[in-house]
Amino acid sequence: MHTILHWFRRDLRVSDNTALHEAATRGECVVPVFIWDDAFLQAPDTGAARVAFLLRSLEALARNLEALGYRLIVRHGAPEVELVRLAREVSAAAVFTNRGYEPGDVARDRKVASALYAAGVHFESFCDSVIRECRDLLSKAGEPYTVFTPYARAWRALPVPAPQPRLPRAKVAAPSKVYSLPLPADSGALGHPLLQQIPSAGEHAAREALRTFVDRHVFEYDRRRDFPSDDTGTSRLSPHLRVGTLGIRTVLEQLQRMGDVASPVQLRGCDAWRTELIWREFYLQILANFPHVATGSFRREYDALQWSGTDEQFAAWCEGRTGFPIVDAAMRCLNATGWMHNRLRMITAMFLTKDLLVFWQRGERHFMQQLVDGDLAANNGGWQWSAGCGTDAAPYFRIFNPVTQGRKFDPDGTFVRRWIPELANVSGDGVHAPFEEPLLLSRTGYPAPIVDHAVQRGCCLAMFQKISPGPKAR
């Protein structure tokens, strides 16, 4: 094939990129293209942090491509229209891209494939963002796994492929006369003005973050990952994995490198991080194999739950003024940075659903609107786990006490004091329960709790017990 379009989506890198490598190997001329799709830009759960991080990652990608002799073509419109139009302009024989697994991705790719084939252009997609695709691992009954532990066991039993080679220099000069939109100066021009401070984007930033975490911190991951005040306890790579400025094979290769030299104690940190990366693929295959989770409960019987939380309670949760310090600190951090520590995601999601009894999909959408790493599969899976309607084998019995969680995972109150200035001068672990001292509470100006946890726990259990449980997950 002489000319191949590579359609960039969630793979914004020139190294370890399967479709891009195939295009460079099989084509004489590779034309990279990115399309601003209104289906993404105008979606109700699209937020400024994600758009801004995507834009900055695209800027870095364009520079990296230019250094190798390529020109990133940017268009705006329906992909099935723009790809056909560009393929005709450059006489492309094919369009290559890396596969998407969300329901919207699958539907869009069908439209694109149909339009391209009608125009006489070949369309091919490749596995790139995951190691195991949605039907690669099946139970003995030939069905997708719906319980994590056997899925993870099957995942670990197979080899991990090596990273793909870096894109070589262009064989043919980039097409200079083909029209390309300039990248906007900021996300506001795309309808999403950024009010948060987000991390550095682009392939170089991703690789630096990976190197720093793997070389310095991965051995302690199992001991430090649950403490939100520890800024180096987790990798912070999820925004890069979401937009694809870092390939998952590269991540696992570096993890294996450290595992090969680790002591038995250090190896526990490596294994714990690998498990979290497997969770990412588990939730993606759940979404791909059971697409109804995008719009309802994995356990369909729980769609009948009668959520009684109010708009006022939801607003208090969003704004970080529930009167439970660890919850409010987490939400204020999210609102300011587009980031939330994984332990805090569980605490805040469980508080919204099991203390405030607010419908889980309201929280799921709010997270997607705020998170810089908002990912449908991971976010949906996490929310359904916390709400008790997902793949967890014992879903609704687990109800976190937010005060206990704060004292356990922020024992000296560092994180709470960082994000709740009203409590900055409160000493001891009383910072996690200022309502226990009414005079202290009135002096700080921090709000009293909007609910009684013990009472709400009973209400939550009663709400679930009204629903007859369905069959256990496989």
Question: Of the residues 279, 317, 385, 419, which is catalytic?
Answer: 279
DSSP string, 425-467: T--GGGGG-GGGSHHHHHHHTPPPPSS-HHHHHHHHHHHHHTS
Alpha carbons 387 and 362: distance in angstroms, whole number: 11
The per-type count for the chain, helices as H runs and strands as E runs, is 20, 5
What confidence category does residue 472 fall into, taking pLDDT thresholds of 50, 70 and 90?
very low
State the residue for tokens 């993404």.
Answer: 40
In this predicted model, what pLDDT tens digit does every residue of 159-195 receive, in sequence order? 999 999 999 999 988 788 899 999 999 999 999 999 9
Alpha carbons 373 and 461: distance in angstroms, whole number: 32
Alpha carbons 441 and 437: distance in angstroms, whole number: 6
Alpha carbons 113 and 51: distance in angstroms, whole number: 26
pLDDT for 90: 95
In this predicted model, what pLDDT tens digit does every residue of 220-263 receive, in sequence order? 999 999 999 999 999 999 999 999 999 999 999 999 999 999 99
- The backbone region for 448, taken as left when phi is positive above 0, alpha when psi lies in -120 to 50, beta otherwise, is beta
Angle at 199 between CA 197 and CA 201, to 5 degrees: 130
CB 330 within 8 A of CB 417: no
What confidence category does residue 468 fall into, taking pLDDT thresholds of 50, 70 and 90?
low
Is 276 an active-site residue?
Answer: yes
Alpha carbons 203 and 140: distance in angstroms, whole number: 40
Question: Of the residues 133, 253, 307, 335, which is catalytic?
Answer: 307
Torsion of CA 356, 292, 37, 64, to 10 degrees: 90
Alpha carbons 322 and 350: distance in angstroms, whole number: 13
pLDDT for 469: 53
- CATH numbers and ranges of domains, the chain: 3-128 (3.40.50.620), 130-161+203-289 (1.25.40.80), 300-465 (1.10.579.10)
Averaged pLDDT, 271-281 = 97
Look at residues 305, 52, 36, 67 and name the one whose alpha carbon lies nearest to residue 201: 52
- The backbone region for 204, taken as left when phi is positive above 0, alpha when psi lies in -120 to 50, beta otherwise, is alpha
- In the predicted structure, residue 471 carries a pLDDT above the cut 60: no
Q: What percent of the chain has pLDDT over 70?
A: 97
Is 36 an active-site residue?
Answer: no
Alpha carbons 24 and 164: distance in angstroms, whole number: 12
In this predicted model, what pLDDT tens digit does every residue of 83-109 receive, in sequence order? 999 999 999 999 999 999 999 999 999
Strand-strand pairing, 29-36 and 3-8: parallel
Is 66 an active-site residue?
Answer: no
Q: What is the mean pLDDT of the chain?
A: 95
- In the predicted structure, residue 473 carries a pLDDT above the cut 80: no
Alpha carbons 221 and 176: distance in angstroms, whole number: 48
CB 126 within 8 A of CB 99: yes
pLDDT for 47: 97
Cα 153 to Cα 138, 204, 248: the distances in Å are 12, 33, 19
pLDDT for 173: 84
Is 279 an active-site residue?
Answer: yes
Question: Of the residues 360, 364, 379, 385, which is catalytic?
Answer: 360
Contacts of 307 (CB under 8 A, 6+ apart): 353, 357, 358, 359, 360, 463
Judge residue 454's burial from the number of C-beta atoms within 10 Å of its C-beta, 0-12 exposed, 13-18 middle, 19 or more buried: exposed
96 DSSP 8-state letter: E
Question: Of the residues 59, 124, 133, 276, which is catalytic?
Answer: 276
pLDDT for 346: 97
Look at residues 338, 294, 348, 361 and name the one whose alpha carbon lies nearest to residue 47: 338
Alpha carbons 66 and 57: distance in angstroms, whole number: 14
Alpha carbons 48 and 28: distance in angstroms, whole number: 38
Is 307 an active-site residue?
Answer: yes
Q: Which helix (H) or strand (E) holds 306?
A: none
Question: Of the residues 133, 289, 335, 342, which is catalytic?
Answer: 342
- In the predicted structure, residue 123 carries a pLDDT above the cut 80: yes
Question: Of the residues 7, 36, 383, 419, which is catalytic?
Answer: 383
pLDDT for 286: 97
State the residue for tokens 């569980």.
Answer: 346
Q: What are phi and psi of 45, to 5 degrees?
A: -100, 10
Give Dmax over CA atoms of the chain in angstroms: 77
Give the chain's radius of gyration (CA, Å).
24
**Token pair in block for residue 179:** 């029209």
Alpha carbons 295 and 134: distance in angstroms, whole number: 19
